[in-house]
Chain A
């Protein structure tokens, strides 16, 4: 981590315990000054740049919600055309809605074109900037404001989209998953992604205290529980092959992760939802087996 003041300056308007602010800071700690950052619309964009202020100590651009990868590809093309590419890293950092949902086409196009840039998804598993609506990254049975639990619902009925696999399928030379709870690992992966030529992808799991319903002092702990239960597998892929995984010593049952969050509270009421919790456990079991986490 940086010794002095971060390139993402303090004083921005992120919530206490904000996962996006952590991700943004770790990103710049890893990259240093010689980069250009592109942000789609989202929490990070809004709370870092209330005009005329900006928290960004590096060149930064926000255009729209769904076009960050296309904008980043244009930045990269321009640097090349103007002979200014040198070692400057082009990085896009956006939320799960901007990445898995509305911005997916632009990301696909930019990766297909092979631009030398890194796309970083900060995944807090719902549209937090607009008030916790579900996204394609919302996990099974999480209650959000548009997939609420109720008398006839256990919350989000759909599975989380496997975005890293989609990016690996694009032929990306480097795809990694990371977590804000493991900062040195995260920064190492960002550095590696930025150093490798071509379009690379880092997907950061990011617990949002406001949206998930836990105390703002617990962001790091909740993120660790996701990894320790295998709800969030941490791995690296090079040219489509898994090359490294973060192993788990004593894998915890998913209840330990679910019970600390209000978005899963409905699964643990008097009546309970044993079948649903079992299904979530099956996801963790699959992750553990598929990635060889144990």
Chain B
């Protein structure tokens, strides 16, 4: 088999992945570190490599709003944004989900202002948790690219019909050059069928979208969205397997374990930090430390059952979060993992660490320190509820 690997920037791999998914309408507004994705897509359009309407809009708010109109008209739609841009979209994110429009967006994760900061953390997408969008998090460039057709297929499934964001860490994944396999057009055509929605804006069959719902009907709209998320839980696993059948690559469905089966300490995390954690685990296993990893791919829908099953032998769970709910002193993964274990027979302690905010580097040493603290907690030397793992001590 010939070597299909090529070295490209993460943004290019994702833009290329979006291209082979054959979107009809792309609408985006440039913002660091998403810019390379929209520049690459613009170049594909300029070179005639992609047959779509590319809309250079005047804001992220209009980017998502235009896609709401386009998706309701029956188009496959794609956008990409980050940080402030995603925050600006907030109101429209609820709207897209409430109208069950399967818009797909790559979120290049970045910190939020103030202070203004262009580097990576995951506060932006985590802060959109309750908007009714599917959220998947990629570990590396190949997974970021491969997640694109997977998430189109998921969002557009007639029993799901929810918008979806595929999240990749800014700079760490978007600007890194890695050997990847660019998604093949023929395989993608085989994997991802055309978008043929049942309900569209069509003068031949007039329908009303976005009606006004009073207290007698509103609740059922929310209930249906939640039901669709439940369907998505199953489909994420199925689609990951179908992807593996066609492309020969697999990253786990909802979650993925590494050295998990016999692990007493289980680290849980999302995104590019997974690679650093795996290296740390390899190192610590040589020192006979019983440690493993549970990577969370899907944050919405939240895979509570998959997590409970994966943690059944764990003695201690350590969550890593590149976000914080200010006033709770916890990241979202920590809060949600604790919550999903509460009404079960599993009595496993969960301790949370927040790290990597605003692009602060996460070296192996930071993970080792975290594991040391976890070991101390297991020996009952100390117990940590949740804390920052990488605070500077020399800054007043």
Contacts and interface: CB of A to CB of B under 8 A. Distances in A.
Interface of A: 33-36, 38, 45-46, 49-52, 54, 56-64, 66-67, 70-82, 84, 88, 105-106, 108-110, 112-113
Given A52-B217, A88-B203, A70 B62 contact: yes
Contact of B59 (A50, A58, A105, A112): A105
Contacts of A113: 55-57
A62 to B, nearest CB: 4
23 contacts: A36-B73, A38-B69, A46-B212, A49-B210, A51-B213, A51-B214, A51-B217, A61-B69, A62-B211, A67-B92, A70-B57, A70-B61, A71-B65, A73-B62, A73-B69, A74-B66, A74-B68, A75-B201, A80-B53, A81-B75, A82-B24, A106-B59, A113-B55
B176 interface: no
Interface of B: 24-25, 27, 52-53, 55-59, 61-62, 65-75, 77, 91-92, 95, 99, 201-203, 205-214, 217
Nearest to B69: A74
A229 B57 CA distance: 41
Contacts, number: 158
A76 B58 CA distance: 17
Contact of A82 (B59, B61, B74, B210): B74
Contact of B212 (A33, A49, A108): A49
A73 B212 CA distance: 22
Contact of A67 (B62, B75, B208, B214): B62
B52 A81 contact: yes
Contacts of A81: 24-25, 52-53, 70, 75
A63 B93 CA distance: 11
Contacts of B59: 105-106, 109
Nearest to B206: A59
B209 to A, nearest CB: 4
A282 B71 CA distance: 49
Contacts of A61: 68-69, 72, 201, 208-210
A119 B213 CA distance: 26
A33 B202 CA distance: 10
Contact of A62 (B24, B56, B206, B209): B209
Contacts of B214: 50-51
